[in-house]
Structure 1
């Protein structure tokens, strides 16, 4: 399947779980489609970009190893994504990557994710936190940054400042996630 054919196929993807899962499975079963999917995703001003992001998110949710060969490209370009409906799945993928990296279970991502990848993810997630992004991107960014704070001791103090500053002006969903992160930060400090 060419990039153009995949682009046309993505026009069938909608918000339904069924469609996203169908194309996520197609990508998982045909890994040669992932670079093409990412090319569409990172054509950031195109209306099909979010559809590619939805499919990649579902593929990564099903099997995080799907993204491993493409971490360089994904992390190099993730900061460019700006359409709200594409930012949310990209932020979710960042969270999935860091959750797999810091989980107690063995995962190939633990050897594949390098310092450059982490730095790019950190920078983008802090951008989500300080810019006018939807709450979902901020929530995924919070969790991602909190987890990366296991390794980078400067992250949590910076994250805490942002959360405290924005807490009273943000939505209930933001406050709920922030409270959860505050709880985890306090628990880590007592250990």
Structure 2
């Protein structure tokens, strides 16, 4: 494998394009979501959400439904929401219109990843598409982690976003059960029990 660090100035344009991509990715810090970080009176942003998912996946890896390459899972989670730079965040519990939103997000990630050198752009686009398709052990686990994190925050903060947005217990189950159970059955067993307790405590919005 060539040592690019020693190959001279010919790679400077590639480094410049990577820097341009990272500057564009910084905009993800300005994309707000509907749930608040614990103990803070503001909404989380999509960049910190992606970081938290990567950490959650790393620590939950032994509970995936199938053996997974955790480095691959983390790569997917780091890029899965990049398209929200253009489209904004859509609350996980919104019903309807997903096909149109995902098409818009695909257009967005093609633009954003297109700032990178061609080979790297293709790599990140493939990761994004794998996450969206959900047909590999890694993508199923990544989707389970993505679905569960807003639930864990709501369970810990008194149902904040569920109450603010009128989200019912039944609606939460419809949105998360299949994906969490497919990616990590033991995680779903845990969450199902916590949701039952949350319902008894009146933490849902409808």
Q: TM-score range by the shorter chain?
A: 0.3 to 0.5
Structure number having the greater helix percentage: 1
Taking structure 1 as the reference length, the TM-score comes to 0.36
Higher relative contact order (CA 8 A, sep 6+): 2
* TM-score (ref. length: structure 2): 0.34
